Amino acid sequence: MEPFSFTISGIAYQLHELPAADRTLLDAAKAMTANAYAPYSQFHVGAALRLANGKVVEGSNQENAAYPSGLCAERVAIFAASSQYPGMTVEAMAIAVSTKKFDVIEPLSPCGSCRQVLMEYRHRQQSPMRIMLSGTGDTVWVFEDVSALLPFAFNADGLKNRDKA
């Protein structure tokens, strides 16, 4: 048995330290939290992504009484971008959260399903996807690539038959 480890690297910025383009994207994600349909959890998530053509596509979480039927903000945004701008590279995504139930000062990471979906798109586009995470405080976590959030991502390579007997 041999132990191993890995490091996840990101940068914690204060809001005022973000470059203007990142701040604009984060502001769009924060604004989208108001559009969330979250009558059950009261947990509002907004996402905004910037495409290589400069377009910004937004999404908010959409709940349903049959919980598996809802959809997270990150997937709403990336699926909308893929359907409206097929094949266009996603350069960056900002994700913001808010709730009146408790303070969400620190940034929160996307759920596992969203991480997997983001990695699918990252794998497909073969270029980094910058991710910014924000709570209601002044700290923003920035990762130069979404792969930092899912270091052991499953992708289509795992579906290939490697036994060519």
What are the mean pLDDT values of the chain's consecutive 10-residue runs (165 residues total)?
90 96 98 97 97 98 93 98 97 96 94 96 96 97 96 77 61
What is the count of structural domains for the chain?
A: 1
Q: pLDDT value at position 89?
A: 98
Q: pLDDT value at position 163?
A: 63
Q: pLDDT value at position 152?
A: 83
Token digits of residue 83? 């359907």
Q: Is residue 161 part of a domain?
A: no
Q: Is residue 159 part of a domain?
A: no
Q: Is residue 10 part of a domain?
A: no
| Residue 49 burial (C-beta neighbours within 10 Å; 0-12, 13-18, 19+) | buried
Alpha-carbon distances of 125 from 74, 118, 121, rounded to whole Å: 17, 11, 6
Give the DSSP H/E element, type plus range, for residue 124.
Answer: helix 112-125
Q: pLDDT value at position 164?
A: 60
Q: Is residue 95 part of a domain?
A: yes
Q: Is residue 5 part of a domain?
A: no
pTM > 0.85: yes
Q: Is residue 11 part of a domain?
A: no
Q: How many CB atoms lie within 10 A of CB 58?
A: 20
Q: Is residue 76 part of a domain?
A: yes
Q: pLDDT value at position 25?
A: 98
Q: What is the CATH number of the domain that holds 25?
A: 3.40.140.10
Q: Which residues are catalytic?
A: 74
Q: How far apart are CA 119 and CA 111, in angstroms?
A: 12
Tokens 């959409």 belong to residue: 62
Q: How many CB atoms lie within 10 A of CB 109?
A: 14
Q: Is residue 156 part of a domain?
A: no
Range of the domain at 62: 16-150
Cβ atoms of 97 and 70 within 8 Å: the answer is no
